[in-house]
């Protein structure tokens, strides 16, 4: 089955990606900090997932038939909250509470705090193991829901990720889609210097996965790849996405790449203006 990439779908995803980035900048400004570079980089992936692909009911976050979206990288929560607001799980006005005492939106993703947050992340390398168990359980139950896990290239350094990759392929869990955000950076520096993981696509294929690599900031390419993953049968699928840190905001794209990006108080508005300029004049 092939679903056409219509202009309508593409426009909806682009608009959502713009708003996710905009929300992330607003949240970053409230705290004066945040993993804003990664959030801007992953916005297109989340826009496709939350506005085009996932079967969910925002007013019933625990609906048994929902597709599960597991965020292993807890510090990307700022981006996921923006996507959850875009999808209607949480009110947009609530985003300004991000990282504050008593908020449902802690700086690192916590399953018990936030509607739509499936797992607590932050201790890296566990998302795919949980995804594998969940997918096995769904299959036993005859539940056709799918399980997605968004993980980082830094998590490819974790042995547990590859143990899960083996188990998931062994069980032929074609209800699993892993999405690897390859931004070529991790906490300790450039991924290539910390621990070389390339050729990433070949490694996943060797582990028995249906693997595709795309430009993670190209909504049309992402839509086509997600469609393909959804219909693939016989093995789990992985989408390796090359993303640009700070994508959509030239001020931050051009900055020296850092895991934790400093943004000065007067730069948030410049960033919003640049984002708006890029979106409306694309």
**Residue 87 or 211 with smaller CB distance to Mg ion:** 211
Question: Smallest distance, Å, CB 188 to Mg ion?
Answer: 11
Where do contacts with Mg ion occur on this chain (CB under 5 A)? 152-154, 183, 185-186
Q: How many beta carbons lie within 10 A of that of residue 279, not counting itself?
A: 16
**Residue 120 or 183 with smaller CB distance to Mg ion:** 183
Question: Smallest distance, Å, CB 180 to Mg ion?
Answer: 9
**Residue 43 or 87 with smaller CB distance to Mg ion:** 43
Question: Smallest distance, Å, CB 186 to Mg ion?
Answer: 5
**Residue 106 or 154 with smaller CB distance to Mg ion:** 154
Question: Smallest distance, Å, CB 73 to Mg ion?
Answer: 8
Question: Smallest distance, Å, CB 240 to Mg ion?
Answer: 12
**Residue 24 or 134 with smaller CB distance to Mg ion:** 24
Query: Encoding tokens for residue 41?
Result: 């980089």
């Amino acid at each position: 089955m092939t679903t056409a990439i219509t202009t309508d779908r593409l426009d909806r995803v682009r608009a959502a990606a713009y708003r996710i980035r905009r929300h992330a900048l607003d949240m970053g400004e409230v705290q004066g900090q945040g993993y804003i570079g990664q959030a801007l980089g992953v916005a297109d992936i989340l826009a496709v997932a939350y506005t085009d692909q996932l079967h969910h009911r925002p007013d019933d976050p625990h609906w048994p038939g929902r597709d599960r979206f597991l965020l292993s990288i807890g510090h990307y929560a700022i981006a996921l909250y923006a996507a959850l607001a875009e999808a209607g799980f949480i009110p947009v006005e609530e985003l300004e509470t991000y990282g504050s005492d008593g908020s449902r939106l802690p700086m690192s993703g916590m399953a018990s705090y936030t509607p739509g947050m499936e797992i607590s992340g932050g201790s890296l390398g566990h998302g795919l193991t949980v995804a594998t168990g969940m997918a096995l359980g769904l299959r036993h139950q005859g539940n056709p829901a799918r399980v997605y896990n968004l993980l980082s290239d830094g998590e490819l350094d974790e042995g547990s990720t590859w143990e899960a990759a083996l188990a998931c392929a062994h069980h032929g869990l074609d209800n699993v889609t892993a999405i690897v955000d390859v931004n070529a950076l991790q906490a300790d520096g450039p991924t290539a210097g910390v621990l070389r993981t390339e050729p990433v696509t070949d490694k996943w294929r060797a582990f028995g996965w249906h693997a595709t690599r795309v430009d993670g900031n190209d909504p049309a390419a992402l839509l086509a790849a997600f469609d393909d993953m959804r219909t693939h049968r016989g093995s789990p699928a992985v989408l390796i996405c090359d993303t640009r840190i700070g994508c959509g905001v030239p001020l931050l794209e051009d900055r020296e790449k850092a895991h934790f990006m400093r943004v000065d108080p007067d730069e948030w508005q410049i960033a919003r203006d640049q984002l708006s300029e890029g979106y409306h004049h694309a």
